[in-house]
Amino acid sequence: MQQKREDEAIVLDFLQNGYSFDTRPLHLKTPITQALGTERFTLLELVPKKDVQLQPRQKVYIGDQKREQIHHVNGRIPVDKLTATAQSELPHAIKAIVDTTPKRFVDFFNKAQPLSIRTHSLELLPGVGKKHMQEILDARAEKDFESFDDIKARVKLIMDPEKLIINRILNEVKGLEKHYLFAAPPPNERF
């Protein structure tokens, strides 16, 4: 099954002189950028164009059209290859993506379906059990949710729905989940 490629990514870390464990002489090292794709939350290793300086949380274009800052995409990387800086930036990058495209995630609450006769995909969100799931289903049956604030107002005692989504995506990116609702499975996973 061919998955859609990422068109944009958020920089997690920029290594001007490449990886520290690269033993080649400095003049042979390539700058490396670790980034998070904005569509499928794919962890990527990018090679910036010559003399380009990037900053964490900066959005870069990596699609098939003309790229201004990125020379090429080396490929996907596992979470354990992320630098300490990239790991600390990961939750902020996920939050930035959720904040810029909230409708996409509110729609999850409106359209989520059962995975099996025993489990609903809403229950895969951290902190959502059968009771909260039923409250969400009852509230959306009356009228679709319009925002995260609307979910909070209509579903009593639910944790912050935006944080539920962010925590779920973070767990998926780290490969801690069995099912993938938002992120592409890690490179070592088969799907």
pLDDT for the residue 3: 57
For residue 187, is it within any domain? no
Same-domain pairing of 15 and 77: yes
pLDDT, one tens digit per residue, over 105-125 is 999 999 999 999 999 999 999
pLDDT for the residue 1: 39
pLDDT, one tens digit per residue, over 31-62 is 999 999 999 999 999 999 998 999 999 999 99
Q: How far, in Å, are 1, 14, 85, 124 from residue 171 at the CA level?
A: 23, 23, 18, 11
Same-domain pairing of 60 and 106: no
Same-domain pairing of 20 and 48: yes
Number of structural domains the chain divides into: 2
Same-domain pairing of 84 and 108: no
Residue where a domain terminates, one of 89, 120, 152: 89
Same-domain pairing of 13 and 85: yes
Among 191, 96, 79, residue whose Cα is nearest residue 180: 191
For residue 53, is it within any domain? yes
Same-domain pairing of 84 and 12: yes
Percent of the chain whose predicted confidence (pLDDT) is above 90: 79
**Structure token digits, residue 85:** 């800086």
pLDDT, one tens digit per residue, over 81-107 is 999 999 999 999 999 999 999 999 999
**Structure token digits, residue 14:** 């920029």
Q: Which domain holds residue 162?
A: 101-173
Same-domain pairing of 75 and 125: no
Distance, in Å, from the CA atom of 13 to the CA atom of 126, rounded to the nearest integer, reads: 28
CATH of the domain at 169: 1.10.150.280
Distance, in Å, from the CA atom of 162 to the CA atom of 166, rounded to the nearest integer, reads: 6
pLDDT, one tens digit per residue, over 7-23 is 999 999 999 888 878 77
Average pLDDT, the chain: 91
For residue 109, is it within any domain? yes
pLDDT for the residue 2: 45
**Per-residue pLDDT for 71 more than 50?**
yes
CATH of the domain at 54: 2.40.50.140
